[in-house]
Amino acid sequence: MDPLLFAFALAFCTATLALDNGLMRTPPMGWLAWERFRCDIDCKHDPSNCISERLFRDMADRLAEDGWRELGYIYINIDDCWSSMQRDKQGRLQADPDRFPSGIPELARYIHDRGLKLGIYGDLGTHTCGGYPGTTLDTVAVDAQTFADWGVDMLKLDGCYSNDTVQQKGYPLMSKALNATGRPIGYSCSWPAYQGGLPPNVNYTQLGEICNLWRNYDDIEDSWDSVLGIVDWFSTNQDLLQPAAGPGQWNDPDMLIIGNFGLSLEQSRSQMALWAIMAAPLFMSNDLRTLSNEARAILQNKVLIGINQDPLGIQGNRLLKEKSGVEVFWRPLSESASTLVFFSRRTDMPYHYKNTLWKLGYLPGNYKVYDVFTGRTMPELTHQTYFTASINPSGVVMWLLSPTVHRVQTQEGANPSLLHNHVEEIARPILL
């Protein structure tokens, strides 16, 4: 099937499955504590980095003051190890009083005052993965109401210390409980990750009806091998995963680790590009206070963010896996645009990859091409023109393409994506 027909078919399939809470119509973006800061609770010896209200206020300040919020990075997400070891006298979860002396409601106000949203972590089990109080079936309703009363905007519900029966009952139950509070709360489910991530154990139709996003696979680690493992799993199983994704419901390959310790500059670009192809939630887990300019430039690339946030919401796929070690990924975008990523798994030297758009499934015609990382408009290509992309080891070349003349239908009043706002001169199609 050619890319344009594929895009139409997949859009039709995903249109009826979205969770009906009106949230996260494009992949959510923000900052999440876990990968970078884990369960560091030693505030006596490591006050700047421990899981505390100070850390989350610091990160909220950075999102608000350093240009992140305007690009769509609006969530500040607490992960495990935030709570007290005991519930309060009314049976409600409570924050650790030493590390969160002001309480979660006050932290939520601080974050909301900066135009941001607060996410929090729970676990559908007797304990969280870190050993803190979990959410059992009899406490689902009270925990949902507690989070709503606190002003929480997103819940990540993990699955440690539970079983299949509890998960089958509990994840849908929490969805209903969150909706019953009357507060819009985005819902991230870890359910499929505990069931192997694939049908028949995982019912993606059901997930699309109860969750806004879900973890499918293993936790990411601060290493290139971890990134490659996630990309391989998603690519191998793309035919099963793609139909599940769409506006309001997203496959989640886990956090962006750009700016930490494990990735080179080329590998950082690769993670960002491949996550954009996968229509993945973009949750950074890094230290925004000390982020390098190079990492910031990758994470704040406006065109790339626009591709990720494309309103059509179709997850892309791997088209080719060449013997040379080059892989080609493709994603259809709104208004007949598309993006190609040429990804090199080589470790020796830059590789000159040659191909034509026709061989990649593009329809006859002329195409404008914009290089996402260099910021340059390239010479126009016909579908039969041979091109050469020079790809650095473990790096990517990422192109945004738009046919020069085509016919599209648009809805009156539709908002253009961030992509089209920032590359209008090369991305917006000619309407006939």
The active-site residue out of 66, 149, 219, 371 is: 219
Cβ-based neighbour number of residue 314 at 10 Å: 24
Q: If you count them, how many residues does the chain have? A: 432
* Alpha-carbon gap, residue 97 to 61, rounded angstroms: 22
* Alpha-carbon gap, residue 390 to 333, rounded angstroms: 24
The active-site residue out of 123, 158, 252, 310 is: 158
* Alpha-carbon gap, residue 362 to 340, rounded angstroms: 11
Helix (H, G, I), strand (E, B) or coil at 199: coil
Task: Tell me the C-alpha to C-alpha distance, in Å, between residue 197 and each of 19, 207, 233, 243.
Answer: 19, 11, 10, 14
* Backbone phi and psi for residue 252, each to the nearest 5 degrees, phi listed first: -120, 105
* Backbone phi and psi for residue 304, each to the nearest 5 degrees, phi listed first: -65, -40
Closest by Cα among 214, 144, 142 to 179: 144
Q: How would you classify the pairing of strands 396-403 and 338-344?
A: antiparallel
158 is catalytic: yes
Task: Tell me the C-alpha to C-alpha distance, in Å, between residue 244 and each of 23, 76, 199, 283.
Answer: 16, 26, 11, 20
Residue 45, judged by CB atoms within 10 A of its CB (0-12, 13-18, 19+), counts as exposed
219 is catalytic: yes
* Backbone phi and psi for residue 122, each to the nearest 5 degrees, phi listed first: -140, 175
* Backbone phi and psi for residue 255, each to the nearest 5 degrees, phi listed first: -75, 160
* Alpha-carbon gap, residue 208 to 199, rounded angstroms: 14
The residue to which tokens 């932290």 are assigned:
107
Pair 24, 155: CB distance under 8 Å: no
Pair 162, 130: CB distance under 8 Å: no
β-bridge mates for residue 382, sequence order: 366
Closest by Cα among 291, 288, 298, 290 to 265: 298
Pair 142, 148: CB distance under 8 Å: no
Token pair in block for residue 69? 């919020």
Q: Show which residues are catalytic.
A: 158, 219
